[in-house]
Structure 1
Amino acid sequence: MSYWERCLHAILFEAIALAMLIPATSWIMGENHSLMSVVMISVSLTAMAWNVVFNYVFDRLVPGERINRKLPLRILHSISFEAGLLLVSVPLVAWLMKCSLWQAFLLDAGTALFFLVYALAFNWLYDSLRARRRQQLA
């Protein structure tokens, strides 16, 4: 994937996730949309930067066509990505929400569980559509 395609991938991934997460976390946490928007957008921007870096490194370590990646490798990819993101996002969430690291971890862990499933589905669908588009252009 080119640099620009990686950026497009990250933007699509985060925009769709934010559209689902902001209302859901506002409702679950009983917080107003403004605070949860700031928190989720901040984490999203952090995740976008991490996404580009992480996937660049992952693709170098696991060469070959992305469409050929099997479920176990896709699960490893998702878990590795989320674990790395948690290291940065928990302190950020604690600071923004003025809560303890433990409370921020619980919120972030719940969000990470959502993203484990979402990332798996999004990336598989993205790779499938990308492969289909490349075949059409060939």
Structure 2
Amino acid sequence: MRTTKDRIRQAVLFESIGLLLSIPLAAFAFGFDLGKTGVLGVAGATMATVWNYLYNLLFDHGLKRLTGSTRKSLALRCLHALGFEFGLMLAFLPVIAWWMSIGLLEALLVDVAFVVFYLVYAFAFTWCYDTVFPDPDARQPAPSGQSQQAR
């Protein structure tokens, strides 16, 4: 399992790089004021950072309990990214509508655009992060009936 320090590094790097990419892109794509979009981005990043820590901690604990490892297949990485983004989307939708003074339907469009961006970004970032900072538990699980220590 990853340490708390490692999880914090992962969350901070993820959100910092994501903000540098998403704020100017969103302001341009939707014609929003860059400053107002920046505040929205920071609010979203704050929500996402807390969610990132909690979601990854719960996901890894569940995965290790079910499989004996935190190793993620391609399909599991896709499921991981979708679950993360869906949970965040539900929480962020009313914030977008309120802060940008737009209706829920328009906020949903903005939210979906953020989700699409962050789905691709989360997949790429997590894969790169796992490569640069490998989790010691991310190895092949032991064959059935064989304990981790027997290997």
Query: Cα distance, 1:2 vs. partner?
Result: 1.2
Contact kept in structure 1, 2:63 and 2:69, CA below 8 Å: no
Report the AA paired with residue 110 of structure 2.
Answer: L
Query: Cα distance, 1:3 vs. partner?
Result: 1.4
The question of 1:56 aligning with 2:40 is answered: no
Q: How many residues align?
A: 132
The question of 1:128 aligning with 2:131 is answered: yes
Partner of 1:114 in structure 2?
117
Deviations 1:79-113 (A, max 9, x none): 00001001100011111111111111110101100
Report which of the two has the higher share of helix. 1
Query: Which residue, 81, 93, 96 being the options, matches 1:93?
Result: 96
CA distance in 2, matches of 1:92, 1:31: 15
Deviations 1:33-73 (A, max 9, x none): 1000011110110000000111111011101554x311000
Aligned-partner SS, 2:134: helix
What residue ranges of structure 1 are gaps of 5+ in the alignment? 134-138
CA distance in 1, matches of 2:5, 2:100: 33
Partner of 1:136 in structure 2?
none
Percent identity (aligned):
35
Contact kept in structure 1, 2:11 and 2:53, CA below 8 Å: yes
Query: Cα distance, 1:132 vs. partner?
Result: 9.1
CA distance in 2, matches of 1:6, 1:40: 21
* Bigger-Rg structure (1/2): 2
* Worse-superposed segment, 79-88 or 123-132: 123-132
Query: Cα distance, 1:125 vs. partner?
Result: 0.6
Partner of 2:42 in structure 1?
41
CA distance in 2, matches of 1:61, 1:132: 15
Partner of 1:10 in structure 2?
11
Change (3 A) 1:57 1:94: same
